[in-house]
Amino acid sequence: MRPVAAIPRRHAWCFGLVLYGCAAHTGLEPIPVGKLSPHVSAGGPVVAAFGTRVPIPYLTAGADYGLAPDITLSGNAHLLALAYGIAGFDAALSWFPRQGGGLAPTVGLEARLLAFASLRSQVDERLIAYPVFSTSAAWRISSGLLYAGTHLAGPLPRPEYDPTPESFMWSPFAGYRWSLGERYALLTEVKWHGVNIRSDQVAVSYLHPWGRGALAPLIALTRRF
């Protein structure tokens, strides 16, 4: 990864696959009003490195806040990006129009804005921002939570080498939230970044089923109140 302003357009797909939805999806249920639930997340697309396949160790830290019985605010700082001279942050509002019970899932709709700024000097452009819309469904299974959903991000940069690029990136995900006592939970998630994008359009060798997008294993630790 290189500074935001120094990333060539021909590598825009590579950059996007790393950044879009690079944290586990913690907005699965509403947070009680006035309560704060901090979390950390790690993981990213699997790439070829050191003679094997390893996930990018992308690290974020943030929190969810209960604004209303069916509305949660959240934000994340993108910590690994700082090592490359980039400040990254995202903020989101999640609405839960249906809260589950029995076989019925809790349904979440989320609007998020990702923003990244170069911290280096002598650059022409310092800021890029990407909107992301997410949906999720979560079912209580025993003391945990089984969930699935999708991210839709864009509009994407238009690489010069592709006359008909994809305008948006679609990334389905699924996972399970494990209860670790009364206060903590561990999320284990797999996300398929950019399932609608051919992997031969990127500059990095990702783990890509059927030549599409990139698979990303993710974990997150949350504290509940």
What tens digit of pLDDT does each residue of 133-164 get?
A: 999 999 998 889 999 999 998 776 665 555 56
Confidence of residue 77 (pLDDT cuts 50, 70, 90): very high
Residues 6+ apart with CB under 8 A from 173: 21, 25, 148, 149, 150, 151, 189, 190, 191, 192
Per-residue model confidence (pLDDT) at position 12: 40
Provide the domain limits for residue 140. Answer: 4-223
Whether the pLDDT of residue 212 is over 70: the answer is yes
**pLDDT in the model for residue 86:** 81
What pLDDT is recorded for position 182? 83
Mean of pLDDT over the chain: 80
CATH for 207: 2.40.160
- pTM for the structure as a whole: 0.81
- For the chain, the domain total comes to 1
For the ranges 54-58, 85-89, 94-98, 131-135, which has the lowest average pLDDT? Answer: 54-58
- Is the sign of the CA dihedral 163, 205, 111, 70 positive or negative? positive
CB-count burial class (<10 Å; 0-12, 13-18, 19+) for 60: buried
Q: Count CA within 13 A, CB hemisphere, residue 31.
A: 22
Identify the CA nearest to 143 among candidates 98, 94, 96, 186: 186
**Structure token digits, residue 35:** 């309560």
* 12-55 confidence digits (pLDDT tens): 434 444 555 568 899 999 999 999 999 999 887 666 565 666 66
